[in-house]
Amino acid sequence: MRFGTDSHHGFILVEAVSHSVAGDDPLGRALSDYHRGEREEPLVDRDGAETREQPVERFYFGEFDPKSERGEWLRAWLSGPLLDVGAGAGRDTLYFQDRFETVAIDMSDHLVETMRERGVGDARRVDMFALRDAFERDRFQSALVWGTQIGLAGSMQGLQEFFGDPAFVTTPDATAVVHGYDPESGPIEELLGYRPDPTPGLAYRVVHSTYENDHQTLLFRLFSPDRLREAAVGTGWEVAAVEHAPSESSSSYYAALRKLSSKQR
């Protein structure tokens, strides 16, 4: 999922360490080629000498499992109309659109086209940090931000500002689910690209992705659940529940947010 530089919202494309050029989209191209049976090279993430080949099929093309812990969590907290933010190849959208109206957005033209080819009924090229420009107030009942993309907010202030956009485009009784890495849980030091931060509950992650001749380097800010709660203050949201991934080898977690009533604000 590819996003443009926007310092106002805290998202940073790390030009100082990136060899990318305008238009590079390694993830989008790799997923598009895989979908069309044309991929001949791996999608590789790098941090210095350390590398990881992304398991594209498992990460992006597996079927949504409604009986898994993740599937049950999402079904419990999401309802329609649903906004799937940074929807990738459309795995979750394909499941939910059969149950209620679902709109999938991503900034990669390759991914938007891939979703359409896979049967996503409403896939659009939209910046996750400019939702107000794309949708009217109260358009959705819930929002899904999966894939640790909240880290692209870049800072506590950026995350707080980001929360304001889905608050605007969702109803007063809306819910949302976000996905992140907890710098205070699990073997976080083993996460590719991890960078420690002395501030409690915060860290960074730097990942350089390569596919054929496409390159992109992204900087993510990692927020603990407590920092997530802190960032939600004043945005109209509250963190209602947090669930860490069942694997002991993962620092991944997902959090459910719900709108505060006017009396609670």
Q: Taking the chain, what is the end-to-end CA distance rounded to the nearest angstrom? A: 33
Q: What separation in angstroms does the CA of 46 have from each of 17, 121, 218?
A: 12, 34, 11
Radius of gyration of the chain (CA): 17
In this prediction, residue 20 carries a pLDDT of 34
In this prediction, residue 187 carries a pLDDT of 87
Among 217, 215, 218, residue whose Cα is nearest residue 43 = 215
- Decide if 125 is inside a domain: yes
Q: What percent of the chain lies above the pLDDT cut of 90? A: 81
Structure tokens belonging to residue 187:
């073997």
Q: Give me the phi and psi of 52, to 5 degrees please.
A: -145, 125
Length of the chain: 265
- Decide if 2 is inside a domain: no
- Decide if 194 is inside a domain: yes
* pTM for the structure as a whole: 0.88
In this prediction, residue 74 carries a pLDDT of 96
Q: Which own/partner contact pairs does 145-148 have at CB distance under 8 Å and 24+ positions apart?
A: 145/85, 145/86, 145/176, 145/177, 145/178, 145/179, 146/84, 146/85, 146/86, 146/92, 146/177, 146/178, 146/179, 146/254, 147/1, 147/86, 147/88, 147/179, 148/179, 148/180, 148/181, 148/220, 148/252
CATH assignment at residue 121: 3.40.50.150
In this prediction, residue 127 carries a pLDDT of 95
Query: What is the span of the domain harbouring residue 229?
Result: 7-259
In this prediction, residue 125 carries a pLDDT of 97
- Decide if 1 is inside a domain: no
- Decide if 61 is inside a domain: yes
Structure tokens belonging to residue 91:
């795995």
- Decide if 264 is inside a domain: no
In this prediction, residue 22 carries a pLDDT of 41
What is the number of domains present in the chain?
Answer: 1
Cα 190 off chain centre by: 20
pLDDT < 70 regions, the chain: 1-23, 247-249, 261-265
In this prediction, residue 222 carries a pLDDT of 97
Among 18, 1, 256, 257, residue whose Cα is nearest residue 127 = 1
- Decide if 73 is inside a domain: yes
Question: How open is the CA angle 228-236-253, to the nearest 5 degrees?
Answer: 25
